[in-house]
Structure 1
Amino acid sequence: MNDNELNNLIEKYKNGTCSDDEKKSLDAYLNSFQTSNLIWNEKELGKEKLVRDEIFEKIENRLAAIDRIQHKQFSKSSYIIKIAASSVLLFVLGYFVFNLIDTKKENNVAEIKWHEKTTRIGEKSTITFLDGTKITLNADSKLKYSNMSIEGKREVYLDGEAYFEVSPNKELPFIVHSGGLSTKVLGTKFNVKAFDAENEIVVSLVEGRVTINSNSNEKTLSSKQQLTYDTKTGKEKISSFNFEEVIGWKENVLVFNNVSLEKALVKIERAYGVKFELTDESIKRLRINANFENESLWTIVKVIKSATKLEYMTISDNDTVSKIIFYRKK
């Protein structure tokens, strides 16, 4: 029975012009709602009695507005209420369920708990999610993440550097927000370096595919590709990359290929938790080529001294070296 046929039968019944066959047809249609096999989901919809009472109240209010008359209080099981209910059932239920779902969403938002993990220089940390996604957080970094997916997405916010091993899930894309970039994946392995103090964000893809958004521009990376984003100019560059040079930090491997001493010491500082100082600008521009794998701090310092012909001195705090200063011998 369509809406027009139902409305015509209801009008005939109210006017007393329904035939016996029409009454039987209307009665059968109305009873079909009561014999439905639908199961009430109390967890999602609430207590059935309270919901029924609310729906009944909305039905009465709706009828009063339609007919512009004051309705009498009828029994909830009476035939006239069944007719009235069916005539506005779609409207009332639609209105009620919409508001119920909207309320549920608000409650879900309230239930979302954000967590924050911070690492100091010389420290790394690993976070494993319930879905198997694993994030290795480099030193001097901060990761903000929630205890659940939000609006069909898994999202994290990164300041610093992290290596992501994302479990595949086509229904729940994983998004990393870092500075002016958003990196979206369905399941893959990649590294993001986005320190606030630096002028670039680097996304390096180990396997799979990722989509990167910056200033409404979208780029797609394939396996073994790297995107470098200049935060000052907004310029982007896609290139290949050296795996150990970019991601070796996870396994305490530091690789420097013709890198300025200034940049090299930033990575060493994060890895070993000791501050470095260079006494003049010319020293900062010196280039080094070296590979270090699980080496001690003092081995690295001696290699730098030998390669650059510089001298160094140390500053201690409570018998612990807190700073190393490189300078030219006079």
Structure 2
Amino acid sequence: MKKINETDNWNDREWAAAAAWLSGEDNGDGENARILAGEEADIMKKWNDLKYSEEKPVDIDKAWVKLNGRIEAAERPVMPLPFKRTLFLTTIARIAAMVLIVAALGWLLFEVAAPQKITLTSDSDQKNLEALLSDGSTVFLNRNSSLTYPKNFMSGTRKVSLKGEAFFDIAPDEEHPFIIDAGKAKIRVLGTSFNVITENADNEVEVYVASGKVMVTSVDGAGSLTLEPEYVGKVSGRNVTQERNSNVNYLAWHTGMLSYDGKCLEVVFEDLKRAYNIEVRVADPEINDFRLTSPFEQQSQDTIIKLICTTFGLSSVREGNTYILFR
């Protein structure tokens, strides 16, 4: 059982009187000081060590502050938390810890399970840049295009995203549709070959089907249609339209083959722009009306321009990627 000291019942005035006497003040109370000395021997020992130390001068005010602090700390009651409150806080802490653990595990699972993505990008001098996908499908990029795809398809669908133009030859798999994010449209196929332009000259998504069937849907899902072979579908906002392709050289950028049977040079120059990324200008507008009949197979742009000039008795100069034809 703890011994009850007389100082335990002192008020602030009695403590101050004892401290004043110990500090040498005239208004101190020696009787209180003696009581304090008898009951608080450890405090008095430290007090005397400080007071009579020769190495350091005694800072009476600092000593009093320290003594007063110990007194207040001893008198301050410690209020234990109610049992129910303690239990509640413990439960909250456990729940918070569980949430953090679940979140950490979820993040770790995502990092491990998420398939590694690859982005293939072609520059202005590249065409038919080939990407072989894990399912056996093949994609050929036209110039200034990019394809993002997973290293391995792991979910129920095969998803890729395209910016620019590319020709797709998709391996058949009815249970795993192939989906292309073309920005303003979604393209869904099972197994087919087709061409996609994410933004044509009219800012539309354009899809040409070479074989099989392709479903084209506007990005908001408002418009949708299924394209058959030799049809071109276009998506503009919520509108989806289709028409039969009339350009036999639509895929010339990919196949390297051009064929003309009495076509005017204005059309030929447009095809060359699309297939070779070049501009052809004429000094005389009448040159655009000249009609050409000729096939071109895997020939360079310089060779094609020379053949056209030879056929019609023209001359040409080249400035970068621009050719100027004149008589």
Shorter-chain TM-score range: 0.5 to 0.7
Give the alignment of 1:87-106 within 5 angstroms.
102-103=106-107, 106=110
- Do structure 1's residue 127 and structure 2's residue 126 form an aligned pair? no
Confirm or deny: 8 A CA contact 1:119 1:125 kept in the other structure. Answer: no
In structure 1, the partner of 2:210 is 206
- 1:184 Cα deviation from its structure 2 partner: 0.7
How far apart in 1 are the matches of 2:289 and 2:238? 23
How far apart in 2 are the matches of 1:173 and 1:315? 46
Q: Tell me the amino acid that sits aligned with residue 264 of structure 1.
A: V
Unaligned runs of 5+ in 1: 1-66, 74-94
Q: Which has the higher Rg, Structure 1 or Structure 2?
A: 2
2:232 to 207, 227, 233: 227
How far apart in 2 are the matches of 1:283 and 1:195? 30
Confirm or deny: 8 A CA contact 2:200 2:206 kept in the other structure. Answer: no
Unaligned runs of 5+ in 2: 1-83, 91-98
In structure 2, the partner of 1:294 is 298
Q: Tell me the amino acid that sits aligned with residue 116 of structure 1.
A: L
Give the alignment of 1:74-85 within 5 angstroms.
none
How far apart in 1 are the matches of 2:120 and 2:241? 29
Deviations 1:89-120 (A, max 9, x none): xxxxxx99986885456425866434132142
| Percent of paired sites with the same residue | 25
Give the alignment of 1:1-330 within 5 angstroms.
70=87, 102-103=106-107, 106-107=110-111, 112-121=116-125, 123-149=127-153, 152-197=156-201, 199-214=203-218, 216-222=222-228, 224-229=229-234, 231=236, 234=239, 236-239=241-244, 245-256=249-260, 261-262=265-266, 264-269=268-273, 271-272=275-276, 274-279=278-283, 290-305=294-309, 311-315=314-318, 322-327=321-326, 329=327
Confirm or deny: 8 A CA contact 2:171 2:191 kept in the other structure. Answer: yes
Confirm or deny: 8 A CA contact 2:218 2:237 kept in the other structure. Answer: no
How far apart in 2 are the matches of 1:97 and 1:167? 42
How far apart in 2 are the matches of 1:203 and 1:158? 12
- 1:221 Cα deviation from its structure 2 partner: 1.9
Confirm or deny: 8 A CA contact 1:187 1:208 kept in the other structure. Answer: yes
More off after superposition, 168-177 vs 103-112: 103-112
How far apart in 2 are the matches of 1:172 and 1:190? 18
**Comparing both chains, which one has the higher relative contact order based on Cα–Cα distances under 8 Å and sequence gaps of 6 or more?**
1
In angstroms, what is the RMSD of aligned CA positions? 4.3
More off after superposition, 229-238 vs 152-161: 229-238
**TM-score, length basis structure 1:** 0.55
**TM-score, length basis structure 2:** 0.55
Confirm or deny: 8 A CA contact 1:122 1:270 kept in the other structure. Answer: no
